[in-house]
Structure 1
Amino acid sequence: MVAIPETREFVGRRPETDEALAVLPATSQAALRQFSIERTVGYGVDYADAVELRGRVVDGQDWQQAATDLARTCLSRAESAPAAFVPTRAGYLRRASALLRMSQMMMLSDTRERREIYAGAAHLYNQAAELLGDRRRVSIRTDREPLIGWLFSAARPAGASVVVIGGVEGHAMDFDSLGVAFAARGVDALVLDGPGQGESRFAHHHYLSAQWLDAYRHAIDYLDRRAPGRPIGFAGNSMGGSFAMTVAAADVRISACCDNGGILAPWLVPPSAGAFHSKMLAFCGTDDPEQAMQAWKTVAPGTTGPNAGYPLLIVHGGRDPLVSTEQARLVLDSVPTADKQMVVFTDGEHCIYNHKTDRDVLITDWMTARLTGTARPTTSNPEG
């Protein structure tokens, strides 16, 4: 009997020449430009899926449809895996979730379709979490709508806790690698969708408002109730770094803070920023620029507060197209704490997606050392 080999078909990598890209729809060109393979992988998409996604889009398929089709393939493999093959099933569920999250990235408004896509991604992610038991979904009450997050419990008795948030585009599930890294170091991590982010926004309509700081206080309350008196840190990615610094200065329970990609005055992002400015408005649940900027003006990482002396680590990419080295240096010089340092990855993209493992090691080692009093890690400027 002759065995017939199984064939799995892939488009694979395609040359992304100016000529090939010029004939694509504007949305496809924008997606390929904004979401490099490194950034896509940084948001949890498997490398092979990221390559295939780009190849299909270069060949003419719509970004959303290509990501959705790949998600369906991963989901089919999860469903066909034997029940005993838990890691296989969970792995494909997480891949499908990441692809669904990527499929809605080019949407600028919170349509019903977008909410349903995100809900589906969260459902698959939660299925994987329940299979492996390595994280759990939590809902935190606030004075407004709830906040949704994922709690990564430490692999050994925890000596500290930390809040991790994303930014205007990448949200909690997209930065789960930091949750995994913190848990491995004995730190409980609440990887959170704050106001304007992820499930808190799409499922519960919790947008950024002038009262956003109170919502984060409730998240800190949650960690404080779990382990009274345990040191708490706050790590923010992209614009989330600006939120993290603002919270750290205002709340004496924050013992250390990391800013990975934040800026000093988010409200100064101009309308000429195009899609990103539109996303900042959607973050506030409005299409009124004045209303949105009034909320964004309350995000003030350079202001003083009762906890202004908190230790601060700034992580910056030398090739960040959104935050220049001058802007990062301005944050370093302007933040009132004297206990601060900046680490620059000379070829780093925004949020250091292209050095994801080293970025996570740097942030979690530094934060763990500061929170638990262990030996302080060396932080030199990586040359990439």
Structure 2
Amino acid sequence: MDAAGPAEDPAKLRAALLRAMPMSRMLDYGMDHGDAVHLAGAAVSEPWHEVATRLAEAQSTRAAAAADRGDVETAVACHRRATACLVFAQMAFNSDHPAKRALYVRLTRAYQAAAELDTELHVERLSIPFLQSHCTAWFVSRSGARPGPAVVVVGGQSGWGPAFHRQAEALARRGLSAVLFEAPGQGDTRMAGGLHLDASVDRAFSAALDSVRTRTGYDGRFGVWGNSFGGLLAARAAVHDSRFGACCVNGANARPEPLPFRTAREQSQALLGVDTDAEAAAVFRTLWLDPAVDRMSAAMLVLHGGNDPLVRLDQQKVFLDLSAHHTLRVWDDGEHTVYNHSAERTEFVCDWFRAQLRRG
């Protein structure tokens, strides 16, 4: 939600921000527990993005001091915690407010700072040519190892790229590689590259595979893992490119419509580059999937949280019918994208991708 105007109730604004960004999500994206408690409990009179930015600055200061001492591991960890704080700082703005753009630049620099010091993971920023511009992505693999089968990881309307570092790290520990992909309408691809989401998004995922194949020489099967709205994008990618051998959808609707919440409406319009709900609905309809005509050769894994307030199980089950080889995993008390079981969820999905992509 964009910064409150003078007539907006600060308490209502803070409640809306906490609904969109609960502590479970902060921890899932890599914030320190103490930072998450501080941000969630900050006085409503303190602007959300300012509190989150101060937390990031404190982590960056710790990172610099650790690097000066030669404690590289601590420096890397602090830079990544700073990145997570900035992920939530920029989420205070749904449209591309100048403050959001500036915070996203800082977020990217913090993630890059960690990459430059990390001796265990190779983290490389990619600029993937697409249409008249480019898509930003981060390639993550074990340092010194030949990159294994790659899984493209994509977020939704507000969580992008570096927000999913923990998933990338878990994949790398299993001998796989990860591509933290910012699709058209997301992150740096939108704010710096000027690309918004439309039905051409399938080709953007194919361009990402082309880029990874050129970089690594790997020419086997790929995976794709979509979180929240990104689950729909992941499924579309697997339908339209047979190089994807495994697809995970985590908390998505196969036939989205504009949601009746201000935060979701503003995020959708920014994602799509439109100004009204009617325009957003028209673009969304071009992205719908129908098992009667849309099929994939990839294995499909669908994750659902029983307490997801945004996506119903019946809306997710549509994805199962896109593939002859499908699995459904439900956490009865799971939140949206199963934030509150993030460790088990990530381990389960990464093990599944390893099993699928190492076959044959």
TM-score (norm 2): 0.90
Gaps of 5+ in 1: 1-22, 375-384
Of 214, 224, 229, which aligns to 2:219? Answer: 229
Alpha-carbon distance in 2 for matches of 1:346, 1:88: 36
* Paired amino acid for 1:33: R
CA distance 1:285–1:83, shift in 2 (3 Å): farther
RMSD between aligned residues: 2.0
Could you tell me how far 1:315 is from its partner in structure 2? Answer: 0.7
- Tell me, in whole angstroms, the C-alpha distance in 1 between the residues paired with 2:258 and 2:289: 15
After superposition, give the CA deviation of every residue in 1:276-323 in whole Å (9 maximum; x if it has no partner).
022111101221334333332232333567862321000111111111
Provide the rounded CA distance (Å) in 2 between the counterparts of 1:198 and 1:98: 14
Find the partner of 2:138 among 119, 127, 150.
150
Structure 1 segments (4+ residues) deviating >6 Å: none
Alpha-carbon distance, 1:84 to partner:
0.8
Aligned-pair CA distance for 1:34: 2.2
Correspondences of 1:79-98 after superposition (within 5 Å):
79-81=64-66, 82-98=68-84
Q: Which moved more, 1:354-363 or 1:88-97?
A: 88-97
Instruction: Specify the code of the residue in structure 1 equivalent to 2:283.
Output: A
Give, in whole Å, the separation in 1 of the partners of 2:262 and 2:310. Answer: 13
C-alpha offsets along residues 57-82 of structure 1, whole Å, 9 cap, x if unaligned?
Answer: 35x42211211121222222222332
1:281 aligns to 2:274 (yes or no): no
Distance 1:364 1:95 in 2: 22
2:247 to 243, 246, 257: 257
Give matches, 1:241-320, under 5 Å. Answer: 241-266=231-256, 268-270=257-259, 272-303=260-291, 308-320=296-308
Aligned residue type for 1:39: R
Deviations 1:169-209 (A, max 9, x none): 11111111111111111111111111111111122222112
Give 2:171's match in structure 1, choosing from 168, 175, 182: 182
Kindly indicate whether the alpha-carbon contact (under 8 Å) linking 1:154 and 1:185 is maintained by their aligned counterparts in 2: no
Describe the shift of the 1:173–1:185 C-alpha distance in structure 2 as closer, same or farther (beyond 3 A).
Answer: same
Q: Deviations over 1:124-169 (max 9, x none)?
A: 1101111115212111111232111111114644441111101111
Q: What is the aligned counterpart of 1:346 among 311, 332, 341? A: 332
Counterpart residue type for residue 193 of structure 2: H
Q: 1:221 to 1:294 in 2, by over 3 A?
A: farther
- SS of 2:193 mapped into structure 1: coil
Displacement, 1:248? 0.5
> In structure 2, do the counterparts of structure 1 residues 61 and 142 end up closer, same or farther at CA, with 3 Å as the change threshold?
same
The corresponding residue for 1:139 is 127
Amino acid aligned to 2:290: G
**d(CA) in 1 for partners of 2:292 and 2:298?**
11
Once residues 189 and 96 of structure 2 are traced to their aligned partners in structure 1, the CA distance between those partners, rounded to angstroms, is 13
Separation of aligned partners in 2, 1:257 and 1:305: 18
* Separation in 2, partners of 1:204, 1:85: 36
Letter in 2 for 1:223: V
| Alpha-carbon distance between aligned partners in 2 of 1:183 and 1:304, rounded to the nearest angstrom | 36
* Distance verdict in 2 for CA 1:158–1:69, change over 3 Å: closer
Percent identity over paired residues: 33
Q: Counterparts of 1:325 and 1:345 in 2: how far apart (Å)? A: 11
Q: Which residue of structure 1 aligns with residue 151 of structure 2?
A: 162
TM-aligned CA deviation for residue 228 of structure 1: 4.2
Aligned partner of residue 106 in structure 1, secondary structure: coil
1:28 maps to: 14
Q: Distance in 2 between matches of 1:128 and 1:54?
A: 25
Q: 1:129 aligns with which of 112, 115, 123?
A: 115
1:83 shift after superposition? 4.2
**Match in the other structure for 1:20:** none
Q: Which moved more, 1:78-87 or 1:231-240?
A: 78-87
Which secondary structure does the structure 2 equivalent of 1:126 belong to?
Answer: helix
> Taking structure 1 as reference, are residues 177 and 112 closer, same or farther at Cα in structure 2, changes over 3 Å only?
same
Alignment partner of 1:56 out of 19, 34, 42: 42
Structure 2 vs 1, CA of residues 302 and 328 (structure 1 numbering), >3 Å: closer, same or farther?
same
Partner of 2:6: none
Please give the per-residue CA displacement for 1:207-236, whole angstroms capped at 9, x wherever unaligned. Answer: 112322221110121123333421111111
Q: Distance in 1 between matches of 2:25 and 2:333?
A: 14
> 2:203: which partner in 1?
214
Higher deviation after alignment, 279-288 or 236-245: 279-288
Bigger radius of gyration: 1
Q: Does 1:101 align with 2:87?
A: yes
| Structure 1 contact 39–353 (Cα < 8 Å) conserved | yes
The Cα of 1:269 is off from its aligned counterpart by 3.0
In the alignment, is the contact (CA less than 8 A) between 2:155 and 2:228 conserved in 1? yes
CA distance in 2, matches of 1:46, 1:206: 32
Residue 290 of structure 2: SS of its match in structure 1? coil
The answer to whether the 8 A contact 1:168-1:239 is kept is: yes
Of the structure 1 ranges 224-233 and 359-368, higher mean CA displacement relative to structure 2 is found in 224-233
The aligned residue for residue 4 of structure 2 is none
The alignment of Structure 1 onto Structure 2 pairs a total of residues equal to 347
Question: 2:209 is matched by which residue type in structure 1?
Answer: I
